[in-house]
Chain A
Amino acid sequence: AQSVTQPDIHITVSEGASLELRCNYSYGATPYLFWYVQSPGQGLQLLLKYFSGDTLVQGIKGFEAEFKRSQSSFNLRKPTVHWSDAAEYFCAVGRGNDMRFGAGTRLTVKP
């Protein structure tokens, strides 16, 4: 069965530090992979996506993610976190109408 796991419910990092948010998936076919960000009370905004080619993808706001097929992972990274990055982050995998979302990782940024 298709599933997405985000092992970290909540992460706290200091402003200026680096960030890595983990995402593991189980999917029968080669999936398309996405990372979304959600501010409180708002909809989801796409940060980046992967469907083929270079396994390191760049997104908006300085985020990047690396697809590792052998580990079924698609981890999100940012070298330097800003206070405005505080939000909830969702990993999603799927094809067509079959999109599965992780439970989310809430990011807190300390000054």
Chain B
Amino acid sequence: DGGITQSPKYLFRKEGQNVTLSCEQNLNHDAMYWYRQDPGQGLRLIYYSQIVNDFQKGDIAEGYSVSREKKESFPLTVTSAQKNPTAFYLCATRVLGQGANEQFFGPGTRLTVL
């Protein structure tokens, strides 16, 4: 079954803790993205990666970190430096190349800070 898997679906964190959100894909897509979604604000880009062992900051990278050790995996760590981490986090993938290469989205992880 091809697609994008995000886990866990719900995550609760105490203040001061780091947490890692998982994103795995078996679509063989080159690029992977992390977005944060807040009510009324649409999606904002946190980080993206086009190839293994390389990634770029998006618009709101502060307080987050990523790694891309495998093509299939792009985990996001929300660090204690992120002051307002409660949000819905979406992972996306994209085929690189010419044309209107749309992004495909995972089901999301809702993070709540207690």
* Interface 1/0 per residue, A98-111 and B, CB below 8 Å: 01011110000000
* Option from B40, B43, B100 in Cβ contact (under 8 Å) with A50: B100
* Option from B6, B92, B102 in Cβ contact (under 8 Å) with A49: B102
User: Is the CB–CB distance between B56 and A103 below 8 Å?
Assistant: no
User: Is A43's CB within 8 Å of the partner chain B?
Assistant: yes
Complex Cα–Cα for A104 and B4 (A): 23
Complex Cα–Cα for A49 and B102 (A): 8
| A-B pairs under 8 A by CB, number | 48
B44 to chain A, nearest CB (A): 8
User: Is the CB–CB distance between A42 and B42 below 8 Å?
Assistant: no
* Option from B41, B99, B105 in Cβ contact (under 8 Å) with A45: B105
Please report the total number of B residues contacting A with Cβ < 8 Å: 26
User: Is the CB–CB distance between B90 and A101 below 8 Å?
Assistant: no
User: Is B108's CB within 8 Å of the partner chain A?
Assistant: yes
Residues of B within 8 A of A49 (CB): 100, 102
User: Is B73's CB within 8 Å of the partner chain A?
Assistant: no
Main secondary structure of the interface of B (DSSP, over half): strand
Nearest A residue to B56 via CB reads A97
User: Is the CB–CB distance between A43 and B106 below 8 Å?
Assistant: yes
User: Is B71's CB within 8 Å of the partner chain A?
Assistant: no
Some 29 contacts from A to B, beta carbons below 8 A apart, are A4-B42, A9-B40, A34-B100, A34-B102, A41-B108, A42-B108, A43-B4, A43-B6, A43-B105, A43-B108, A44-B43, A44-B90, A44-B92, A44-B105, A46-B104, A49-B100, A51-B99, A51-B100, A90-B42, A90-B43, A97-B31, A97-B50, A99-B45, A99-B103, A102-B42, A103-B40, A103-B41, A104-B40, A104-B42
Closest 9 CB pairs of A and B: A51-B100, A43-B105, A101-B42, A101-B43, A44-B105, A32-B100, A103-B42, A43-B107, A49-B100
Q: Which B residues contact A (CB, under 8 angstroms)?
A: 4, 6, 31, 33, 40-43, 45, 48, 50, 56, 88, 90, 92, 99-108, 110
